[in-house]
Amino acid sequence: MKQAFLERKPLFQKVPVAGRKKRVLIIAGPTASGKTRLSLSLAAALGGEIISADSMQVYRGMDIGTAKASPEDRALIAHHLIDICDLYYTFNVAEFYKKTQEAFREISVRENVPIVVGGSGFYIHALLYGPPAGPPSNPAVREQLDQQMRDLGPEVLYERLQMFDPYYAATISEFDRHKIVRALEIMSLSERRVSDFPKANRLKEQDYDFRCWFLYYPKEKLYARIEKRCDEMLEKGLLSEVRELEKKGLRDNPTASQSIGYRQALDYLASAQTEEDFERFVFTFKKASRHYSKRQFTWFRKEPLFRWLNIDEHPLERLKELVLQDFEQGD
């Protein structure tokens, strides 16, 4: 049944239209909203290839906690930006932008359709409007700041950021280690505050016409789906996965170690691992996942290019039909 559902026979003949930019689908939405299933169906219908817009799926071994597409699905539909680096490497939004542009060109050469799928609003915003301004990362400066983060903790470095750039510090969380380090790095290299750099809020001029969709469920139903997904991740072996990744340096990666599910699992593994510790781990894992979905709703409400689709009101085939009609006929 699954093979038939994803059979690679494009339903639409790709006919070039003179003067029309190449179209790119973006399927966004909160965690557990069904992005993967719809994107696979769209890719099968259009002759598409999927580009992950998930900041953690780039890491090899981070499989269960990031809900990567299965090996079987990836064998049927080409995927990009999954399993492209090891944990010792800190992936960032500028590299995401660069590698996504490369993937667009490769997919276009094959005359296939790029389908960007993910819930990372920061990454998708950079794709549409260009990566954040600022000097490129300097390995020596970054390593020094990463070491300070490990030795002193995020609270101390966040206070330093508040002292030097209170305006930017107010826009991020004191727990966002990567953004704190990057902000301090930018100021060290440029001798300017991060808030002094112009914000990318105008659509970047490029050779693509982005067709953007945000999938969602009503929050009550979404939260139930999120908690079920957390339980399923635990049943599939999330803790065993984290134990193995810890041996490969997960704790030393300032972004991967703070991602949802992995951060809570690392805290649990560092505890006495009593029954009470496990219950606390599960509670905080689910709570962090729900809160992340709330932030995703907040982020994408500010993105004017996205049209919202309530999955609770439409069956999968109807959602697919709406997206395909717009892709083929929309202005």
CATH of the domain at 208: 3.40.50.300
Q: Does residue 64 register a pLDDT over 50?
A: yes
Is 173 inside any structural domain?
yes
Domain that holds residue 185: 139-196
* pLDDT value of residue 170: 83
Tell me if residue 273 falls in helix, strand or coil: coil
Task: State the pLDDT confidence band at 132, using cuts at 50, 70 and 90.
Answer: confident
Count the domains in the chain: 2
Those residues with Cβ within 8 angstroms of residue 240's Cβ, 6 or more apart along the chain or in another chain = none
Residues 49 and 179 in one domain: no
Q: What is the CATH number of the domain that holds 149?
A: 1.10.20.140
Residues 144 and 171 in one domain: yes
Least Cα distance to 152 among 188, 124, 180 occurs for 180
Task: State the pLDDT confidence band at 19, using cuts at 50, 70 and 90.
Answer: low
Cβ neighbours, 10 Å, residue 12:
12
| Structure letter (DSSP) for residue 111 | T
Of 172, 196, 220, the position where a domain reaches its end is: 196
% of the chain with per-residue pLDDT over 70: 92
Is 118 inside any structural domain?
yes
Residues 217 and 310 in one domain: yes
Q: State the Cα–Cα distance between residues 65 and 230, nearest whole angstrom.
A: 9
Q: State the Cα–Cα distance between residues 94 and 88, nearest whole angstrom.
A: 18
Of 153, 171, 196, the position where a domain reaches its end is: 196
Residues 124 and 35 in one domain: yes
Task: State the pLDDT confidence band at 4, using cuts at 50, 70 and 90.
Answer: very low
Residues 248 and 207 in one domain: yes
Residues 187 and 215 in one domain: no
Of 196, 219, 236, the position where a domain reaches its end is: 196
* pLDDT value of residue 7: 45
- Which residue type sits at 219? K
Residues 82 and 121 in one domain: yes
Per-residue pLDDT tens over the stretch 187-216: 998 889 988 887 665 566 678 999 999 999
Backbone angles phi, psi at 294, to 5 degrees: -65, -40
Per-residue pLDDT tens over the stretch 253-311: 988 998 999 999 999 999 999 999 999 999 999 999 999 999 999 999 989 999 999 99
Q: Does residue 15 register a pLDDT over 80?
A: no
Residues 74 and 146 in one domain: no
Joined together, the tokens standing for residue 124 give: 């998708």
Is 15 inside any structural domain?
no
Q: Does residue 8 register a pLDDT over 50?
A: no
Residues 125 and 143 in one domain: no
